[in-house]
């Protein structure tokens, strides 16, 4: 069939959606659970020490959700914070994208429930891209605003990892934690979100995963599954493969490392952050997100939480350029340069 034959007859052509010329992040919000858990509370169950955890990961403490904190409730809090920071009305949100791997229902998604909590009936769906989920969500929101499918999009990265962590597992018990971060993406007069460099390597899917499938849990009468990680393999992949991705995101944005005002990588391990910094040859004095020390690894929430904190504490400038990169289970990754709200 020729392309000509596919063209609609007469006046029956479809009107293309028209969106904004550009998109940017209007505001950021976060929710950090109240309970602070220092390394000393964890070490006995994993035969570890505060010194070992700090030296190998940079983590000093983390936040754990309380019994009343859920993926939905933490998201709602972060969302309200982000919408207030954006200076818009809740009713202006036309789509919600939630990135999470710890919503405890296989279906439905968390996003429609969060929308309902906000009094909205807008498009609402979850994505599963683990620790890279927030950067995936920002990319989708950018395209949605520019494509005309929504004027304002709420992107949420949220995890209650403690519900899926084995506190006797030496490889994960001290790493994973809880929290939610959110961003409002909307129309802009200038490009506020650079091209996303993203991809996957599914051949390594087993390196971070739910320990057993739901079917094995059912058929073999297994207990509650948790998230397991082949730490060393993921560490090597992150250190060697992610710096080139970050470099491509800088180039795709048409800037040089010297133009950056912040480097905000996923908070997986302080040593991974340091190794990436070295490889990227960023300016020596560039502010770098090191939220992992007090927040540990909150997967999809780590980048928005770190960014929100750095902005609030005046460490990075409103209107500055930040390079953000997420990477994790899949294995998947996504990176882009953004203008800080």
Locus of tokens 């409730």: 73
CA angle in degrees (0–180, nearest 5) for 136-195-238: 55
φ, ψ for residue 184 (rounded to 5)? -105, 120
Residue nearest ligand UT7, CB atom distance? 231
* Active-site pick, 39, 103, 122, 131: 131
Nearer to ligand UT7, 101 or 141 (CB): 101
Q: How many CA atoms lie within 13 A of 70 on its CB side?
A: 11
Spatial neighbors of 198 by CB under 8 A, at least 6 apart, are: 132, 135, 136, 139, 332, 333, 334, 335
Q: Min. distance of Cβ 301 from ligand UT7 in angstroms? A: 11
Nearer to ligand UT7, 30 or 228 (CB): 228
**One character per residue 131-170, x = contact with ligand UT7 (rule: CB under 6 A):** x--------------------------------------x
Nearer to ligand UT7, 56 or 247 (CB): 56
Q: Is 268 in the site for ligand UT7 (CB under 6 A)?
A: yes
Strand 262-265 and strand 152-160: pairing? Answer: unpaired
Q: Is 131 a catalytic residue?
A: yes
**One character per residue 49-78, x = contact with ligand UT7 (rule: CB under 6 A):** ---x---xx---------------------
Q: For residue 264, give the H/E element and its range.
A: strand 262-265
Structure tokens at 129: 């891209």
φ, ψ for residue 212 (rounded to 5)? -135, 150
* Active-site pick, 103, 142, 266, 269: 266
Q: Min. distance of Cβ 172 from ligand UT7 in angstroms? A: 7
Q: What angle in degrees, to the nearest 10, is found between the helix axes of 50-57 and 270-280? A: 20
Catalytic residues: 131, 266, 297
Give me the residues that bind ligand UT7 (CB under 6 A), please.
46, 48, 52, 56-57, 131, 170-171, 174-175, 208, 231-232, 234-235, 238, 268-269, 272, 297, 299, 328
């Amino acid at each position: 069939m020729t392309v000509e034959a596919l063209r609609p007859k007469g006046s029956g052509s479809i009107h293309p959606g028209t969106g904004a010329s550009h998109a940017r992040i209007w505001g950021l919000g976060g929710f950090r659970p109240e309970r602070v858990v220092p390394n000393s509370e964890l070490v006995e169950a994993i035969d570890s020490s505060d010194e070992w955890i700090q030296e190998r990961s940079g983590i000093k403490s983390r936040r754990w959700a309380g019994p009343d904190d859920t993926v939905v409730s933490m998201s709602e809090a972060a969302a309200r914070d982000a919408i207030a920071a954006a200076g818009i009305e809740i009713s202006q949100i036309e789509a919600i994208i939630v990135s999470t791997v710890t919503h405890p229902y296989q279906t439905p998604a968390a996003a429609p429930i969060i929308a309902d909590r906000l009094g909205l009936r807008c498009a609402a769906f979850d994505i599963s891209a683990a620790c890279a989920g927030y950067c995936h969500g920002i990319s989708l929101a950018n395209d949605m605003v520019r494509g005309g499918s929504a004027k304002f999009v709420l992107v949420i990265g949220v995890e209650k990892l403690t519900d899926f962590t084995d506190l006797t597992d030496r490889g994960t018990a001290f790493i994973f934690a809880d929290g939610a971060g959110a961003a409002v993406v909307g129309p802009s007069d200038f490009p506020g979100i650079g091209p996303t460099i993203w991809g996957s390597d599914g051949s390594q899917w087993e390196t971070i995963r739910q320990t057993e499938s739901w079917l094995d849990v059912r058929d073999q009468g297994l207990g509650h599954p948790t998230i397991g990680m082949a730490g060393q393999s993921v560490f090597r992949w992150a250190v060697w493969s992610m710096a080139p991705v970050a470099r491509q995101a800088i180039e795709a944005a048409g800037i040089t490392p010297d133009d950056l005002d912040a480097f905000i990588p996923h908070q997986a391990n302080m040593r991974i952050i340091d190794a990436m910094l070295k490889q990227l040859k960023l300016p020596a004095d560039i502010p770098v997100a090191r939220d992992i020390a007090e927040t540990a690894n909150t997967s999809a929430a780590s980048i928005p939480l770190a960014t929100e904190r750095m902005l609030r504490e005046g460490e990075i400038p409103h209107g500055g350029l930040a390079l953000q990169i997420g990477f994790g289970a899949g294995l998947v990754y996504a990176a882009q340069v953004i203008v800080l709200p």
